[in-house]
Structure 1
Amino acid sequence: MTPSARSSAIILVPGHWLGAWAWDEVREHLNTDTTRAIALTLPGLDGNDPDRATKTLEDQAAAILDALGQAGASEENPATLVAHSGANAPVSLVIDRHPELVHRVVWVDSGPVASGSIFAPDLPSEVEELALPPFEALGQQASLEGLSPEMLERFRAHAVPEPGPVLRQAVELTNEHRRRVRTTLVCCSMSSAQVLELARAGHPMFAEVATLEHVDVIDLPTGHWPMWSRPRDLAEIIQSKASRSY
């Protein structure tokens, strides 16, 4: 980044089971002299909150909007949103409601969801929360490539069960302007070529990507949690995308 380049504030939003701690290594590599980075623990993911299992996507979207406000985001000074994995639902809500506050959204092994999407539509109503599965089962759903035993141990120790209401709530989107927000897909456990092919084919997980007006893709080959397996490389991508001259 050149000395004259301006950077927007960066809001780091972790995926399921994770809190602000998940971004610690990435934040170490961000240039805080030119960038203000705020890592979030979304409502429902604070292990000390006795009411966390009742939190909803609306609560999470409100928390992201609060963080944008704390960062001073405005139409004249929009921020960069970075969303990992399951953070795509609340971040999609925020972009739909306030696209003018977002300079760019960086999806980390993730992507925007379509209106009507529900993460776990078949999750029984009596299930209050969903704990982090055993790693053998989790590895069947998302790549653990690049994660050392120590990283996995930390993941297990810090993980907080995901609230049931968050997993069962439908994402309702109405604002076509959300599709005009500059978008970067950081492709890790799948290549960008695979993601774009699925988007063109209308795959439910990636169909919304095909509707975006300004999208670029970056390959960062690793597992589903690059904030731990390749934190420096991910930080460099985020830093460059937060630059207003980019």
Structure 2
Amino acid sequence: MTTSNSTPTILLIAGHWLGAWAWDEVLEHLGDDRARAVAMTLPGLDRGDPARSTRTLDDQAAAIEGTLARLDVCGDRPATLVAHSGANAPVSLVLDRHPELVHRVIWVDSGPLATGTAFAPDFPQDMEALPLPPFDVLARQASLEGLSAEVLERFRAKAVPEPGPVLRQTIELTNDVRNTIPTTLVCCSISSAQVLDMARQGHPMFAEVVKLETVDVIDLPTGHWPMWSRARDLAEVIRSAASEAL
């Protein structure tokens, strides 16, 4: 795929336990923009990968960079990155290492990470991966609002355990240019007012938001997986944000 400055590539990256399949409904609703949108599965989340439990955040960041290269993304033709939930860690690494490749980053119920951050630094070393928890447990950690029994069944059937190294690894960021990339925060299970208040208070989940030079904040009230609960609306948000300031 090649793009021009007027039609940036959109790269969709889902969070923990998920692969490219998680974006199927959003892709359907992108209409004409679907031709420039690509969903990818991060290393460690491909069920057929025999080494998936050893994959790291560096492997995932390298895979994103490789996908961008295959899509002919470069400084003259930057892409829009869409990062849902736990995809924020490898995407934060890519923004730090190659900010020139990104036209805009769209965080979906997520946000940029700070250097020195790990998702679960104390995740036991003797555990290779974290399976998708029972839904009653997961619901105490992230909202399942808007997900039907059918969607939850598909989630359970397709989910791949999250590699332990990905959960334990601390990210190291050194390039402040990443903060100049235009950013869209899509706030779903946490409202924009709450997100901005947490950012001002220095909450580790959103502390980096105050460092961003250009931020658009959009409320899309639903649970933590809007690609299923509000796929059409999320597709419209992505389409609009990706086309902004072209």
What range is the shorter-chain TM-score in? over 0.9
Kindly provide the CA deviation profile for residues 19-63 of structure 1, in whole angstroms up to 9, marking residues without a partner as x: 000000000011345751110110000011111000000100011
Partners of 1:38 and 1:67 within 8 A in 2: no
Amino acid at match of 1:195: V
SS in 2 for 1:140: coil
Kindly provide the CA deviation profile for residues 103-136 of structure 1, in whole angstroms up to 9, marking residues without a partner as x: 0000000000000000001111111100000000
Runs of 4+ in 1 over 6 A off after TM superposition: none
Which residue pairs with 2:222 in the alignment?
222
SS in 2 for 1:185: strand
Partners of 1:8 and 1:35 within 8 A in 2: no
Partners of 1:83 and 1:106 within 8 A in 2: yes
Which residue pairs with 1:169 in the alignment?
169
* TM-score with structure 1 setting the length: 0.96
Runs of at least 5 residues in structure 2 that lack an aligned partner in the other structure: none
- Following superposition, the deviation at residue 6 of structure 1 comes to 2.2
1:83 aligns with 2:78: no
* TM-score with structure 2 setting the length: 0.96
Which residue pairs with 2:9 in the alignment?
9
Partners of 1:83 and 1:108 within 8 A in 2: yes
Counterpart Cα distance in 2 of 1:232 and 1:84 = 16
Which residue pairs with 1:28 in the alignment?
28
Partners of 2:200 and 2:207 within 8 A in 1: yes
Counterpart Cα distance in 2 of 1:40 and 1:90 = 13
SS in 2 for 1:82: strand
Partners of 1:129 and 1:163 within 8 A in 2: yes
Which residue pairs with 1:209 in the alignment?
209
Partners of 1:7 and 1:35 within 8 A in 2: no
The 1:98/1:150 distance shift into structure 2, 3 A limit, reads same
Amino acid at match of 1:155: F
- Following superposition, the deviation at residue 143 of structure 1 comes to 0.2
Deviates more, 1:120-129 or 1:98-107: 120-129
Partners of 2:25 and 2:231 within 8 A in 1: yes
Partners of 2:27 and 2:34 within 8 A in 1: no
- Following superposition, the deviation at residue 242 of structure 1 comes to 1.1
Partners of 2:54 and 2:164 within 8 A in 1: yes
Counterpart Cα distance in 2 of 1:142 and 1:54 = 26
Partners of 2:33 and 2:239 within 8 A in 1: no
For the aligned residues, what is the CA RMSD?
A: 1.2
Which residue pairs with 2:151 in the alignment?
151
Percent identity over the alignment is 69
Counterparts in 2 of 1:20-169, with a 5 A limit? 20-32=20-32, 35-169=35-169
SS in 1 for 2:150: helix
